[in-house]
Amino acid sequence: MKAWVSHRPGGPETLVWQELPDPVPADGEVLVKIAAVGVNYPDGLLIRDLYQVRPERPFVPGSEFCGVVEQAGRGVSGLREGDLVIGRCGWGAMADRIAVAEQRCVRVPADTPRTQAAAFMFAYATAYHALCDAAQLQAKQTVLVLGAAGGVGSAAVEVAHALGARVVAAVSSPSKLAFAMARGASGGLVYEQQVEGREAQQALARRIKEAVGGDGCDVVFDPVGGGYTEPALRSLRRGGRHLVVGFTAGIPSVPLNLALLKSRHIVGVDWRSFVQEDPKLNDRNVHSLLAMWREGLLQPEVTETFALADAPEAIARLDARGALGKIVVVA
């Protein structure tokens, strides 16, 4: 089979398109013919050795997929040949085929759009886990979503809106704000491409508080970090929850007295480790999300697709932080 392989740390230009032996499913695994691969921010970190886990090289990037089961290994009971599945794998999906543990896959109806399905699990399951499990979000509460037009951010907008919350979107361009509002945000603001220095942070804090209104928001969903985190944290009302989801703008430093002064909670959200520690709860979350999708409450938005042979371009596009919604590689 053909696959993109990382032999050394570096950007997407270091990946090599090469022939590999077809994988053979071990006990408890299924062999999946890849139809489409969702591109996620950790993919670019992983190939640069900047992620919290570092697979042994050489390895194939690609952390989520949609495909068809071609073969079931011994001990597999819930899936069979011909099933359409979505799956999570950490790495390995940017290839023609992947052998993956059965419990990492979820069967979906055969008529499910495959590009949308490949864009579903990582973003929506992260958003749902953050908002429901970590923040205990309730209807009519207010959620500020940073990076609200990106893959995970736009999923958070949709999930929060579907749960009956008021959503305020924070983004870096007017077109991104329009995109987020079409997903369910009731208002928002456009921030600068870079927020550096005390004056810039104070100015952003004032604008966020104005957009949020009242005595502040209940939840901040923050996949951005950098100079945006402190202004967002300041917008929380007493007892509010700041969800630390990612750091596309860099790892921030914040004064912890901001948490103390209004009994605010800073909550780390690592969906990858959550899945390992509580796979049954994650499965319930994913099935709840699939039901919401079937009901029309969620609409995975794939704005760009790339052929598998052009997968490095897809990673580079996401790295540039200019994408709306999700980017998908189609096999």
What does the pLDDT look like over 122-136, one tens digit per residue?
999 999 999 999 999
* One-letter amino acid for residue 320 of the chain: A
Q: Are residues 143 and 113 in the same domain?
A: no
Has residue 81 been placed in a domain?
A: yes
Q: Are residues 115 and 89 in the same domain?
A: yes
Q: Are residues 107 and 129 in the same domain?
A: no
Q: Are residues 103 and 126 in the same domain?
A: no
Res. 115 pLDDT band, cuts 50 70 90: very high
**What is the CATH number for 259?**
3.40.50.720
* pLDDT score for 324: 92
State the total domains in the chain.
Answer: 2
User: Residue 205 contacts by C-beta under 8 Å, 6 or more apart in sequence?
Assistant: 230, 231, 234, 235
Domain that residue 44 falls in: 2-119+300-330
Q: Are residues 81 and 21 in the same domain?
A: yes
pTM over 0.85: yes
* pLDDT score for 323: 86
Instruction: Give the C-alpha separation, 263 to 141, whole Å.
Output: 17
Q: Are residues 127 and 97 in the same domain?
A: no
Q: Are residues 110 and 171 in the same domain?
A: no
Res. 27 pLDDT band, cuts 50 70 90: very high
Has residue 293 been placed in a domain?
A: no
Q: Are residues 109 and 79 in the same domain?
A: yes
Peptide linkage before 58 cis (omega within 30 of 0): yes
Q: Is 112 helix (H, G, I), strand (E, B) or coil?
A: coil
Q: Are residues 244 and 256 in the same domain?
A: yes
Has residue 201 been placed in a domain?
A: yes
DSSP string, 117-182: HHTTHHHHHHHHIIIIIIS---TT-EEEEETTTSHHHHHHHHHHHHTT-EEEEEESSHHHHHHHHH
Has residue 288 been placed in a domain?
A: no
What are 220's strand-pairing partners? Answer: 144, 242
Q: Are residues 153 and 265 in the same domain?
A: yes
**Tokens 């604008």 correspond to what residue?**
207
- State what percent of residues in the chain have pLDDT above 70: 100
Res. 119 pLDDT band, cuts 50 70 90: very high
pLDDT tens digits for range 155-212: 999 999 999 999 999 999 999 999 999 999 999 999 988 888 889 999 999 999 999 9
pLDDT at 320 exceeding the cut of 90: no
* pLDDT score for 137: 98
Has residue 184 been placed in a domain?
A: yes
pLDDT at 322 exceeding the cut of 80: no
Domain boundary at 225, 254, 272, which?
A: 272
Q: Are residues 55 and 183 in the same domain?
A: no
* pLDDT score for 193: 82
pLDDT at 104 exceeding the cut of 90: yes
* pLDDT score for 71: 98
Average pLDDT over residues 322-331: 93
Share the mean pLDDT of the chain.
96
Has residue 287 been placed in a domain?
A: no
**What is the CATH number for 41?**
3.90.180.10
pLDDT at 63 exceeding the cut of 80: yes
Has residue 279 been placed in a domain?
A: no
